Structures are given as structure tokens and as C-alpha cells.
């Protein structure tokens, strides 16, 4: 069971560089999410998607972009990386947006912007 797979696990970026965090799920879930976790804090929602071709902003979307061309993949794009984007990023998926079913998380991607 692969579940939710994120790559890369670790990355160091220079200020102003761009990169894409990849996320794939093999559970045929319609709903996918990107969260960030800052040190000593809980997770905050960046973007979410309710299905292929549909995305929307979460609580902290500035500096990020997403796309959802397939049910399986939900990449997160960082444009012009800034030190404030140093964080741990978690991708998640579920088959029910109401919370009635478990939300499955990936293992996280540690990003440092220097």
C-alpha cells in the first residue's frame, strides 16, 4: 500500500529559486490537500482540490500554486522561494471532504530556503 507519496523528502533552495513538490495517491481519492507545518505549530492548509481540474485556496496560499490534471497527482509549485517558506510540507488525500473518513497524510517534505 503506497498511500500518499511525496517527493522530494528533503530540499534546500536558494532565495528566488522555484521548485515543485510532487504528491501522488493510489487510493482513487477525489480530495487532496497541501498543508505546511512551521516549527512548533500545527498544520495549516495551503491549497486543496476536490477533483481533477478543480483547485482552491486554503488558509495560507500566497507564494504557491497547484494543479490537478489527474486524480492521482497534486503537485505544489513554489515560485520565487522566500525564507518564510522554510517549512515541512504535507500532502494528504481523502475520499470524503466531510471528515467522515480518514484523511491520509504523506510522510512530509522538509524544505529549507536560504
Partner 1 sequence: AQKVTQAQTEISVVEKEDVTLDCVYETRDTTYYLFWYKQPPSGELVFLIRRNSFDEQNEISGRYSWNFQKSTSSFNFTITASQVVDSAVYFCALIKNYGGSQGNLIFGKGTKLSVKP
Strand partners, 66: 76
CB-based contact 61:48 (threshold 8 Å): no
Taking CB under 8 A as the criterion, which residues in 58-77 touch partner 1?
Answer: 58-59
CB-based contact 107:7 (threshold 8 Å): no
Residue 100 near partner 1 by CB under 8 A: yes
Taking CB under 8 A as the criterion, which residues in 24-53 touch partner 1?
Answer: 31, 33, 35, 40-45, 48, 50
Residue range at the interface with partner 1 (CB under 8 A); choices 15-23, 69-77, 79-87, 93-101: 93-101
Amino acid at each position: 500500500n503506497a498511500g500518499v507519496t511525496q517527493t522530494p523528502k528533503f530540499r534546500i533552495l536558494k532565495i528566488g529559486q522555484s521548485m515543485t513538490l510532487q504528491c501522488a495517491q493510489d487510493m482513487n481519492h477525489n480530495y487532496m490537500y497541501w498543508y505546511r507545518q512551521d516549527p512548533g505549530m500545527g498544520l495549516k492548509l495551503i491549497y486543496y482540490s476536490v477533483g481533477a481540474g478543480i483547485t482552491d485556496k486554503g488558509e495560507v496560499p500566497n507564494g504557491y500554486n497547484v494543479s490537478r490534471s489527474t486524480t492521482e497527482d497534486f503537485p505544489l509549485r513554489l515560485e520565487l522561494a522566500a525564507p518564510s517558506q522554510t517549512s515541512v510540507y504535507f500532502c494528504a488525500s481523502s475520499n470524503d471532504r466531510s471528515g467522515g473518513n480518514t484523511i491520509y497524510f504523506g510522510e512530509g517534505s522538509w524544505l529549507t530556503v536560504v
